[in-house]
Amino acid sequence: MLTQDNDQIQQRHRHLDEIIQLGHAAYPHRFDRTHTISSIVMQYQSYHGKREDEGEAARVNEELKGAGNGKIRLAGRIMQMRLMGKAAFAHLSDGGARLQIYVRKNDVGEAAWELYNKLDLGDWIGVEGFLFVTKTGEVSLHIHELQFLAKGLLPMPDKYHGVADKELRYRQRYVDLIASGAVQERAEGELTAREVFVKRAQIVRAIRDFFDERGYIEVETPMLTPLATGAAARPFVTHHNALDIPLYARIAPELYLKRLIVGGFERVYELNRNFRNEGLSIRHNPEFTMLEFYQAYADFNDLMDLTEELITGLVDEVCGSRQIPYQEHTLDFSNWQRLTMREAVLKYWPDHLQDKKPSLDDLMNRAALEAAAAALELGFDPKLNDGYLLGEIFAHVAEPHLINPTFITEFPTELSPLSKQNANDPRFVDRFELFIAQMEIANAFSELNDPAEQKRRFEEQMRQREGGDDEAMVMDEDYIRALSYGMPPTAGEGIGIDRLVMLLTNQRSIRDVILFPHMRPEAK
């Protein structure tokens, strides 16, 4: 780890002491910049490499010298230093871009030169100077003023390779972010940690714009709740001292948002964290970001159209192409599929078991479902009801094939305690899940707004709970009361934002799209 006391850390403390002795503040309060490094790099990109002959060099440098009246003031962290006797080059970073500075003893003066020699990689400095292009063609700042801004007391990661240790990258994300701009070779199109999180911010911004433009209002509902319900999951429990009651970190905002529809908000969305007390994996973090939105007078078919529009728009905006790489796949966002769960089972039924392939009707028949599970050599709990069994068969047969965006519809009622039943066939609900790259990205349905039926569904969930399923939903009496005041026909949807960001940034692990993923406590 980077925090052990060693010769390098002692040396940096000595340098800081010496800087103070030279009369500089150890931690000065501010620095006036005229530009950011990123803006200079962007603006003068085209000058890069312009130095084929001396004549052109002189002309280019004469032009650059006037930029910003020759008094461009920049600040950043020192990423590389190359000392050459009485002159030096260094690269400064503002986190996003790097610019080379050129320091010459004659130009900065004795005092600043002395300061420069007490600087270490990772220190923050402010500089003033004029732009020029070096012999080797790099746009650089020839400085005549140097100000110390803050010390890096711990040694920087390898300037070329950066940080490879994933544990260190997740636990000390700040180090990952510092080093992710390192020169290290990356595969074509591979993003740095910083770029991933910048894209994540763009995606979240674009989602909010999308819903704001369509007349939704963004709301915030409780994160600490007396009941953990609205999803099938185990909650985190905490305790409220003043009230002396248990509180649960929410597992979903769903029931609160629908109360708002009852209250007369026709379109609401919430984009925030849910908490589920479950294991960690490449696709699961105990807290994750969920978008939920509800729209009165709409049904789940409307939301399929809306979802397609939302995600296609995001892909266009963030990726610039509808065919995007994701790990070993190419995802085609111009090719959306809609299948019922049973159709998907038939479509992806394994070739070598064609003789045992069930029919569409079979998949609603207990004996045939069990035969199908047996043919697939699927172990299953005989207590599972028909709906669960179909869900298991679907997950096994079809899910691995769902690479391009696919809406799966016609979910068994037993699997969907908050969804409205299909008008023609009450064994199924009007619900879909969206799968992309084998991941479940979205879940939506026409909302059950019959309070009596909702009460029956909760009671069924409670029976399953008593039967040992500690993820079955908890009864929410106040929600029944709210529905009893009348909720208009409504459709609602949840979209897992972390997973969507994974897709759009080609990240394999959810930990790579969460700044501070959950980790076991560090070993002491």
Which of positions 215-244 make contact with RNA (CB under 7 A)?
231-233
Other C-beta atoms lying within 10 Å of the C-beta of residue 126: 20
The distance of closest approach from Cβ of residue 405 to RNA in the complex, given in angstroms and rounded to an integer, is 15
Q: Smallest distance, Å, CB 180 to RNA? A: 12
Interface of this chain with RNA, residues 448 to 507, rule: CB under 7 A = 471, 496, 498-499
From candidates 37, 127, 129, 140, binder to RNA by CB under 7 A: 140
Q: Given the complex with RNA, which of 84 and 243 has the nearer CB atom?
A: 84
Find tokens 């969930």 and name the residue: 461
Residue 261 or 502 with smaller CB distance to RNA: 502
Phi, psi of 254 (to 5 degrees): -45, -50
Binding to RNA in span 173-212, by CB under 7 A: 183
Quick check: 63 binds RNA (CB under 7 A)? Answer: no
Residue 28 token pair: 């000065």
If binding is defined by CB under 7 A, does position 348 make contact with RNA?
no
Q: Using the rule CB under 7 A, which residue among 56, 62, 158, 459 binds RNA?
A: 158
Give the C-alpha separation, 350 to 363, whole Å.
16
Q: Who's near 499: CB < 8 A, 6+ residues apart? A: 283, 439, 440, 441, 510
Distance, in Å, from the CA atom of 153 to the CA atom of 101, rounded to the nearest integer, reads 22
Q: Using the rule CB under 7 A, is 102 a contact of RNA?
A: yes
Three-class secondary structure assignment of 343-401: HHHHHCCCHHHHHHCCCCCHHHCHHHHHHHHHHCCCCCCCCCCHHHHHHHHHHHHCHHH
333, 399, 470 from 387: Cα distances, Å:
30, 16, 18
56 binds RNA (CB under 7 A): no
Q: How far apart are CA 407 and CA 480, in angstroms?
A: 30
Kindly give the pairing relationship between strand 428-436 and strand 406-412.
Answer: antiparallel
**Which lies closer to RNA via its Cβ, residue 85 or residue 264?**
85
CA-based torsion, 280, 281, 287, 293: positive or negative: negative
Q: Is residue 130 involved in binding RNA (CB under 7 A)?
A: no
Cβ 290 to RNA shortest distance, Å: 7
Structure tokens at 147: 């100000």
Rule CB under 7 A: choose which of 148, 197, 288, 407 binds RNA: 288
Smallest distance from the beta carbon of 378 to RNA, in angstroms? 9
Residue 523 as a binder of RNA (CB under 7 A): the answer is yes
Which positions ≥6 away from 322 have C-beta within 8 Å? 312, 315, 316, 332, 333, 334
Half-sphere exposure of 491 (CA within 13 A, CB side): 19
| Residue 357 interacts with RNA (CB under 7 A): yes or no | no
210 touches 495 (CB < 8 A): no
Give the nearer residue to RNA in terms of CB position, either 294 or 296.
294
Q: Which stretch binds RNA (CB under 7 A): 280-288, 343-351, 363-371, 480-488?
A: 280-288
Pick from 35, 73, 77, 142: which binds RNA (CB under 7 A)?
Answer: 142
Separation in Å, CA 388 to CA 190, 192, 383, 453: 40, 41, 10, 20
Question: Residue 273 interacts with RNA (CB under 7 A)?
Answer: no
Site string for RNA, 411-450 (x = CB under 7 A): ----------------------x-----xx--x-------
- CB under 7 A: which stretch of 68-76, 152-160, 331-339, 473-481 binds RNA? 152-160
Which of residues 42, 58, 83, 452 is near RNA by CB under 7 A? Answer: 83
Considering the rule CB under 7 A, would residue 284 count as an interface residue with RNA? yes
- Considering only 11, 45, 321, 334, the residue that binds RNA (CB under 7 A) is 11
